[in-house]
Structures are given as structure tokens and as C-alpha cells.
């Protein structure tokens, strides 16, 4: 049996900075809630302080480690026959969708992604597993891949079901 090779392409080199910033926004909200809750406690047993410190340290580790780990793992490839992705950072997901099963190709670019020059592509297939997303591509690469997938799938006969 032949081993499946990893997808060829990495996401944008700007993706880790984007992921770090979005994680920092989430951490600020989390810290605000934790510290406010902590300060509102009438009595503060020692374990509440330990728990607060532990949660803040864990979120700092997440901020530092997650973007670079995620960058090393996230990969994608579009071949003449399939879309292949690998994503995750604690758990990993690998998806392959034959182009003959592609129903729609969508691109997404939030305001923050635009600041970083990033875009994501979602490929919807006739699959119960749901769509495949290629996150944090360079904007120009995302536009090129959308055009390429649209052209390839437009040439296929049938309704991809």
C-alpha cells in the first residue's frame, strides 16, 4: 500500500501573524472575564488564584505556540483531479475531495484578513463530511485557485452528486 503524501503548498507566511492577533483578541476577552470574575469573588480561596494564573499561562502558551505549529501543519494542494488539505494544530484533519464532486467554490475575506492580505477558500462537495476550507492563503493565490477550480469544475458534466 502506498502512503499518502502530504499536500504540497503551505498557507501564506502572514498566516501566523494573523492567527496570533486573532488569538490575542480572544485572550483579552477571556482575561477580562476571568479577572473580573476573580475580583468580584467575596472571598478568594488560594485555589482560585492558582486557577486564574494557570488559565492565563495556558492562554499565553497558546498565543506563542499555536501560530507556528499551525503554520507547519496547514497545507493544501489542488491537482487536476482533487483538492487535498491538512489542517489543525492539536488534532489534525486531512481531507481529499475529487473535483468531480465539487459543487461550489467560495472565497472569504474578513476585514482583518484584508489587512493581512489573506483570504480563505471553501470548496463545497457532495459529501456528508461537509465543505473543505483552505484558510489563510495570499489574496492573489486565493483568487487564482478560485478561478482555476471554477474553470476545472465548469468543464465537468453532470451536477456533482
Angle at 148 between CA 142 and CA 150, to 5 degrees: 100
The three-point CA angle 87-28-22 to 5° equals 30
Q: How far is residue 5 from each of residues 2, 76, 77, 94, 158, measured CA to CA in Å?
A: 9, 11, 11, 11, 30
| pLDDT tens sequence across 111-123 | 999 999 999 999 9
Report which of 98, 105, 89 is spatially closest to residue 11, judged by C-alpha positions: 89
Tally of CB atoms within 10 A around 87? 21
Cell of 72: 507547519
Question: What's residue 157's pLDDT?
Answer: 64
Statement: residue 158 has pLDDT above 80: no
pLDDT in tens, 124-140: 988 778 899 999 999 99
Give CA 60 to chain center in angstroms.
Answer: 20
- What is the mean predicted confidence (pLDDT) over 104-110? 94
- How far apart (Å, rounded) are the C-alpha atoms in residues 82 and 76? 11
Q: Cell numbers of 25, please? A: 483578541
Amino acid at each position: 500500500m502506498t502512503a499518502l503524501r502530504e499536500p504540497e503548498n503551505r498557507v501564506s507566511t502572514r498566516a501566523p501573524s494573523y492567527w496570533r492577533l486573532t488569538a490575542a483578541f480572544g485572550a483579552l476577552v477571556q482575561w477580562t472575564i476571568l479577572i473580573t470574575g476573580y475580583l468580584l469573588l467575596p472571598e478568594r480561596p488560594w485555589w482560585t488564584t492558582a486557577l486564574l494564573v494557570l488559565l492565563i499561562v495556558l492562554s499565553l502558551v497558546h498565543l506563542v505556540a499555536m501560530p507556528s505549529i499551525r503554520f507547519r501543519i496547514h497545507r493544501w494542494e489542488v491537482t487536476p483531479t482533487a483538492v487535498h488539505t491538512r489542517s489543525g494544530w492539536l488534532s489534525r484533519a486531512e481531507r481529499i475531495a475529487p473535483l468531480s464532486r465539487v459543487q461550489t467554490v467560495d472565497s472569504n475575506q474578513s476585514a482583518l484578513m484584508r489587512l493581512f492580505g489573506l483570504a480563505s477558500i471553501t470548496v463545497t462537495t457532495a459529501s456528508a463530511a461537509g465543505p473543505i476550507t483552505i484558510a489563510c492563503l495570499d489574496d492573489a493565490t486565493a483568487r487564482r485557485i478560485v478561478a482555476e477550480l471554477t474553470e476545472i469544475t465548469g468543464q465537468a458534466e453532470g451536477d456533482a452528486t
